[in-house]
Amino acid sequence: MQTGGTEVAYLKSIQECEIISIEQIAPQIFDMWVKNDVLAAQARPGQFVHIDCGDATDNFLRRPISICDVKSNAVRILFEVKGSGTAALACKKAGDVLDMLGPLGNAFTVLEQYRRPLIIGGGIGIFPLYLLAKQFSEAQVFLGFRCCERVVMEQDFKNVAKELHITTDDGSYGYHGYAVELLERKLAAKEGDIIYACGPLPMLRATKALAEKYNVKCQLSMEQRMGCGIGACLVCTCETTSKGANHYKRVCKNGPVFWSDEVTLNG
């Protein structure tokens, strides 16, 4: 871009992403690899892409989807079909080109002093946790699903985690109950030095409470309806607290990952 005769390199631009593969792996769940050098080079665990799902009439807003995995020049995303945007994405074919912004948001904090993480996820919240689990050799992973047929990425996580625990709400696969119950057992046994969580709000609330009870550091990845996705429009806030005062922070820019003692989880 020219400004006053000098070349200015802007940090960000729209990323054109060619779909390498798209596959349905469970009811309503799609697994997609797209080719893009910038996303692949920059993506860190916990970040997301903001995807233009098509025409401005039905899908005016971009959809935020987590980066699940990365290889040299490609990134992997998994998404569940919920409404019109994800339905439009599910109809795409290899060779189609998607318009994405990213990588956006902060990322999970991975620190040298915490190498024995307890990673807990539920439903679509498990996807960003895969790239995170890959950063560790001693990750213990707890994944909660509604029922057997919705269990996905089991083999992927098995390959990278030291231990993998699958739970289902109805007991049709793995442990019958909630993933947080297994998390608590580990915490009670003094295992793990940090917790990372992404999933439905009740899971995040329970995880935050456990982190406080056992006095373990904990990061939560939050979800909220987004507008611009880059921090300008202030629509995707979550309530945070510091020094007794509550403030709304931007999930897309200050998050999606927050320390559990920072967020109130009140909306």
Partner 1 sequence: MADLRINIAGVELENPVVTASGTFGFGREYGEFFDPGELGAIAVKGLTLNPREGNRSPRIAQTPAGILNSVGLQNPGVENFIKFELPDLKKHSAKIIANMSGNTIEDYCSMADRLSGTEVDMLEMNISCPNVKQGGVAFGTDASTVHKITSEVRKYAKKPLIVKLSPNVTDICEMAKAAEAGGADALSLINTILGMKIDIHTRRPVLANNVGGLSGPAVMPVAVRMVWQVASAVKLPVIGMGGIMSAEDAIEFLLAGASAVAVGTGMFKNPMLPVAVKNGIGEYMDQNNIKKVSELVGAVRVYE
Ligand X SMILES: Cc1cc2nc3c(=O)[nH]c(=O)nc-3n(C[C@H](O)[C@H](O)[C@H](O)COP(=O)(O)O)c2cc1C
Judged by the rule CB under 8 A, the positions of this chain that interact with partner 1 are 1, 3, 8, 10-14, 52, 56-62, 101, 224-239, 246-248, 251, 253, 266-267
Cα separation, 200 vs 204, in Å, equals 6
Q: Does 26 bind ligand X (CB under 6 A)?
A: no
Question: Using CB distances below 5 to 8 A depending on partner kind, what does residue 232 bind out of partner 1, ligand FAD, ligand X, none?
Answer: partner 1
Q: Is residue 233 within the footprint of ligand X (CB under 6 A)?
A: yes
| H or E stretch covering 198 | strand 194-198
CB 235 within 8 A of CB 158: no
Task: Give the separation between CA 75 and CA 39, rounded to whole angstroms.
Answer: 7
Give the residue with the Cβ less far from ligand X, 230 or 235.
235
Q: In the bound complex, which residue of the shown chain has the CB atom lying closest to ligand FAD? A: 83
**57-65, 77-85, 178-186, 227-235 -> range binding ligand X (CB under 6 A):** 227-235
Among residues 159, 176, 158, the alpha carbon closest in space to that of 167 is found at 176
Binding mask 22-51 for ligand FAD (x = CB under 6 A): --------------------------x---
Which H, E and C letters describe 79-109, residue by residue?
EECCCHHHHHHHCCCCCCEEEEEEEECCCCC
Lay out the sheet containing 117-122: strands in order across: 175-176, 163-168, 140-145, 117-122, 194-198, 217-221, 257-259
Q: Which residue's CB comes closest to ligand X?
A: 233
Preceding omega of 256 cis (within 30 degrees of 0): yes
Distance CA 226, CA 50 (A): 9
Q: Which amino acid is at 143?
A: L
In this chain, which stretch among 63-71, 114-122, 142-150, 181-189 interacts with ligand FAD, using CB under 6 A?
Answer: 63-71
Pattern 68-87, binding to ligand X, x per CB under 6 A? Answer: --------------------
Residue list 70-109, contact with ligand FAD (CB under 6 A)? 78-80, 82-86
CB 139, min distance to partner 1, A: 31
Q: Name the 3-class secondary structure at 149.
A: helix
Binding site for ligand FAD (CB under 6 A): 48, 61, 63-66, 78-80, 82-86, 124, 127, 223-226, 256
